[in-house]
Amino acid sequence: MSNLEKKELRVVVPGGDGEMLSGDRDAVSSVLVDASIARQMSDMIRAFRISQIVGTIAQLGIPDQLESGARTATELASLIGSHAGATNRLMRAASDLGLVAWGSDARFTLTALGQSLRSDVPGSVRDLAVALTSPGHWLPWGRLNEAVRTGRRQTAETLGAELFEY
């Protein structure tokens, strides 16, 4: 690595005593990553879960079922034909994301954010959520590494056909 490259790669990292140390990439490789940076990266790595929760809520039509009022996970499961325990876990995850509110009576209500996934409201993004979280979209993205290494699209190799033929 040239001196110019090292100068361009200079970073600032927290020192053990709270003061900031600066150095080049090679010199700081053994320094621990700041906790807030690690948390931010961890959130990015796990972000696929968010889109799958949103897509599943939309695909199952849960926002439409909550339009008329609060329901328990068991009631929702009965309405949408799903497993009650799994529906409860999904709804708690949706609550963590702010799609629904989880009341002390174990009933879920739709939030303003969740309203955007209803099928009958102007400006709904339900169809977008369903489309972009379907296997036709997310399976090829799972092969991004291969696409970058080879320069080849992965859609046909992953799905057996191009997206609009799938």
- The tens digit of pLDDT for each residue in 48-100 reads 999 999 999 999 999 999 999 999 999 999 999 999 999 999 999 999 999 99
- In this predicted structure, the answer to whether residue 166 has a pLDDT above a threshold of 70 is no
Q: Which residues contact 14 (CB under 8 A, 6 or more apart)?
A: 20, 21, 31, 34
Tokens of 54: 């949103």
User: What is the DSSP pairing of strand 107-110 with strand 11-14?
Assistant: unpaired
Identify the helix (H) or strand (E) that includes residue 10. Answer: none
Helix and strand numbers (H, E) in the chain are 11, 5
Please, which pLDDT band fits residue 20 given cuts at 50, 70 and 90? very low
Residue with the two structure tokens 């879960």: 49
- In this predicted structure, the answer to whether residue 16 has a pLDDT above a threshold of 80 is no
Please, which pLDDT band fits residue 26 given cuts at 50, 70 and 90? low
Question: Taking residues 21-30, what's their average pLDDT?
Answer: 52
Question: Taking residues 141-153, what's their average pLDDT?
Answer: 93
Percent pLDDT > 90 in the chain is 71
d(CA 99, CA 102): 10
The tens digit of pLDDT for each residue in 132-144 reads 999 998 899 999 9
List the chain domain ranges.
50-118, 135-165
Please tell me the predicted confidence (pLDDT) of residue 87.
98
Q: Which class is 50-118 in CATH? A: mainly alpha
d(CA 144, CA 141): 5
Tokens of 77: 């499961």
Please tell me the predicted confidence (pLDDT) of residue 24.
53
Q: What does R_g of the chain's alpha carbons equal in angstroms?
A: 23
pTM exceeds 0.95, yes or no:
no
Pick from 21-30, 71-80, 152-161: least confident: 21-30
Please tell me the predicted confidence (pLDDT) of residue 27.
52
Please, which pLDDT band fits residue 25 given cuts at 50, 70 and 90? low
Dmax (CA) for the chain in angstroms is 66
- In this predicted structure, the answer to whether residue 22 has a pLDDT above a threshold of 60 is no
